[in-house]
Structure 1
């Protein structure tokens, strides 16, 4: 008997008992759909993390000073001299005032204030919606100017352009020289959209912020990252006479670590979802055993008119494969639909449907049909015609 004829027979059997067929396929549908959807969520999260880290610059190093006191303070002029080394591109020391009271007209709100230099915008891939970013003369003359994050600008000015307006920060008046484009949250769940940026020298003078706690350093290229990191370690050890009290974060290492964690989570979720496929396989085996019992007389008649053992085995095996294959196909569509639905209704949770994972999940569902259909099919093929015809 030809394979297509066996498939048509199997499809007729599936269609003749639609409710039982759907319930039989349900485990496979849930399994395949779960694998596709969960892996899509995991890969979407991995891509989001990679984009966020890349948005900060893959050549970026971040120096954080952990200890307090004069013995662990960095000097701005010394840090800027690092740009003379070929392995460094830009250096942007920063100081943070934390939550500050910002006021314009009758509107008041609290936002974090960052004091930095003109390199900070380029290193953090900042684009301007209007106006300009901090420039070197602003630092030199300690100008009372600020650049607003998109959320800050919207709070005080709505859709109006605030460039040229004045805001009051903790009792000090500053002129707005620019507004940054919206950038969203990064991997640390912080956002430049809710910050006010001013020249570092201005922040030091107006708010008595003298301690540089964080410094962003961009290497000249990916190949120079390791050399730049070692130079920073040597400088900090020379400065503090110790290898503790500070840390250097490497964006490349952060990216690799985050991607590895996200990949492991994806594999774990896919493994958990694959258990549903095995459960679905058990359901298929159970219903196929019932089918063999119900169709015992049919098997006896077919054998008595010349059907061979392999014909009976293939008939029930193909029926099992068709059941699992249809379940896998429906599960594939359900999983893809869930994946795109999640991203549609929650844009902060991106998903990426993998063609290879989807194909593997479908093929695994077919394999489940083969493995769990083999025993019932083999049992049917071994029935003796005389016993099968006597079965009531």
Structure 2
């Protein structure tokens, strides 16, 4: 009963000073918002990177130009970076790797920047794009889904066919969607509609979907470096950290080698038969490439080595964000403590009257401790709500990576709010509880 009475008195005390409570709660709200959002950012970035790296598959090996240094234990030290040397990897290296036993596939990547254009005269449209030369396995390895058309075949690759698959940004840019705002305008009578109807209409996806069906480049030709290429497919949007295909124009590797001045590859993705033979294939691939190179100016990296480096980076990121979060909580807790100390001072006569009427030291302490806990808890709930709305808004509008809010992060935020309330509420509560009744009654 004493605790229940203390809780009721704490609620009455907060309500009597509700305007001050709202302002003092701002620090806790900001602190809880920081806990939720920063935790979601760190988890979202880590999950996105792990999905991209894990998307390679545990049976896949990455061959890249430059030399990755080895640690004392013989592992690849990816965090130290690559030696700064130009690529000497060639398509002949890829063919040599194909001869290695237990290798299922080899996907070379040749990349350069080029200009792609379509149309004639005043209707001509030009865009800079990443020209990618690869094999028919590109879409599978890059997890690039098709929105329209198809991907080129192995036969087209061998025949050096002039066919291309466009990334979504390039496709939409060549269609001129970014420069045709008049097509998305509201009808003339829209101005007479209520504001909420106009807002709903602007957010409705039907107009965008209808515009998408208006035109298509499938079967038409685009020009790059003075050569015509037939568009046979369009990749679906997949904007993400560091591996987006939205600005790519993909063509067969043989065609790219023939039509561009590029002779060296940017990377190769080698796929083994199974994870059981990955170590053996890793050594055999290294030996196969070494035959064509006078010096070791390339690196063969297994997926598990990339994941180890990624885990180290994300651990540093999480430690940094944890430090920021703790700092925000300490600042908010200090603000709450200062407010409560001032409240105790202003309510000295109230405390004196309560103690004179028989309130014990414990009851007074519980009342002020409950006030601090309630203030922190309410601020935590508000901060949690604002953080959740921010995460939903981010995920609805930004596609580069998603923010992830796990249940344990919510529990951490609420637990942190209680911890801040207890830690920074003890001093004001003890200060109030230890007051001498006679001195408190004489306080002016």
TM-score between both structures, scaled by the size of structure 1: 0.85
Alignment match, 1:128: 146
Task: Choose which of 315, 323, 336 in structure 2 pairs with 1:271.
Answer: 323
Tell me the secondary structure at the aligned position of residue 99 of structure 2.
helix
Describe the superposition over 1:30-86 as per-residue Cα deviations: whole angstroms up to 9, x where unpaired. Answer: 1111111221222222222233334454543232235569x864515323223xx22
- Does 1:328 pair with 2:328? no
Indicate conservation of the 8 Å contact 1:180/1:193, yes or no: no
Alignment match, 2:233: 179
Change (3 A) 1:209 1:376: closer
Cα separation, 1, equivalents of 2:385 and 2:369: 24
Change (3 A) 1:17 1:102: same
Tell me the secondary structure at the aligned position of residue 114 of structure 2.
strand
Task: Choose which of 89, 92, 95 in structure 1 pairs with 2:104.
Answer: 89
Change (3 A) 1:124 1:57: farther
Alignment match, 2:413: 361
Alignment match, 1:215: 268
Alignment match, 1:17: 17
Change (3 A) 1:167 1:323: closer
Change (3 A) 1:100 1:73: same
Shift of 1:17: 1.0
Shift of 1:105: 4.3
Alignment match, 2:52: 52
The 5 Å alignment of 1:86-125 reads 86=102, 88-106=103-121, 107-109=124-126, 110-125=128-143
Cα separation, 1, equivalents of 2:148 and 2:115: 23
Task: Choose which of 187, 190, 194 in structure 1 pairs with 2:247.
Answer: 194
Which 10-residue stretch deviates more, 103-112 or 26-35? 103-112
Gaps of at least 5 residues in structure 2 are 67-84, 177-213
Please tell me the root mean square deviation across aligned C-alpha atoms, in Å: 2.9
Shift of 1:11: 0.8
Shift of 1:256: 4.2
Shift of 1:279: 2.4
Equivalenced residues, count: 385
Cα separation, 2, equivalents of 1:97 and 1:305: 84
Alignment match, 2:166: 148
Indicate conservation of the 8 Å contact 1:153/1:179, yes or no: no
Gaps of at least 5 residues in structure 1 are none
Cα separation, 2, equivalents of 1:205 and 1:195: 18
Shift of 1:370: 1.7
Alignment match, 2:353: 301
Indicate conservation of the 8 Å contact 1:64/1:248, yes or no: yes
Change (3 A) 1:249 1:36: same
Cα separation, 2, equivalents of 1:313 and 1:384: 13
Alignment match, 1:240: 293
Change (3 A) 1:256 1:68: closer
The 5 Å alignment of 1:282-321 reads 282-321=334-373
Tell me the secondary structure at the aligned position of residue 154 of structure 1.
helix
Change (3 A) 1:338 1:354: same
Alignment match, 1:379: 431
Shift of 1:12: 0.8
Shift of 1:179: 0.8
Task: Choose which of 166, 172, 188 in structure 1 pairs with 2:221.
Answer: 166
Alignment match, 2:61: 61
Tell me the secondary structure at the aligned position of residue 134 of structure 1.
coil
Cα separation, 1, equivalents of 2:30 and 2:245: 41
Change (3 A) 1:105 1:251: farther
